[in-house]
Amino acid sequence: MQSKISRRAVVKGGLIAGAFIPAIGLMANSAAAAGLPPLDPADPTAQALGYVADATKVDAKANATYKPNQKCSTCAQFLGKAGDASGGCNIFAGKSVVAGGWCKVWAQKPAA
């Protein structure tokens, strides 16, 4: 029986593991976000950052950086998948935000 493991096998195994570990992490994020309680717009941090559950209701005068096409689902901090009604947010850890919501931290999600 040959117990030697070739360098090629080790490299190949490492590449396969490297491809799956991030995918598992993404699945865990989505699964975790699904059970998160919704962020209350009355939460002090949410208020400080001007969070609203409906981006069309943003007070544009009070939020000069707001543009009509901005919403959580297009934000770099949004952890939900495309088409999700809500998802986690890197800024509001432990809470879910509405895909159509908005806050002052909004930044364009990079193209996939």
Contacting residues toward ligand SF4, per CB under 6 A: 51, 72, 75, 77-78, 89, 91-92, 97, 101-103, 105-106
Q: How far is the CB of 71 from ligand SF4 (least distance, A)?
A: 7
Residue 95 Cβ vs ligand SF4, minimum distance, rounded to whole Å: 9
- Give the residue with the Cβ less far from ligand SF4, 13 or 43: 43
Using only C-alpha atoms, the chain has a radius of gyration, in whole angstroms, of 20
Task: Output the smallest distance, CB 61 to ligand SF4, in A.
Answer: 19
Residue (33 or 78) nearer to ligand SF4, CB: 78
Task: List residues bridging with 75 in a β-sheet.
Answer: 108
- DSSP letters, 18-62, are HHHHHHHHHHHHHHHHHTPPBPPTTSHHHHHTT-BS-GGG--TTT
Q: How many other C-beta atoms are found inside a 10 Å radius of the C-beta of residue 111?
A: 4
Q: Which is nearer to ligand SF4, 84 or 102 (CB)?
A: 102
State how beta strands 96-98 and 86-88 pair. Answer: antiparallel
**Longest CA pairwise span in the chain (Å):** 76
Task: Select 3 or 96, whichever has its Cβ closest to ligand SF4.
Answer: 96
For the bound state, the minimum distance from the C-beta of residue 28 to ligand SF4, rounded and expressed in Å, comes to 19
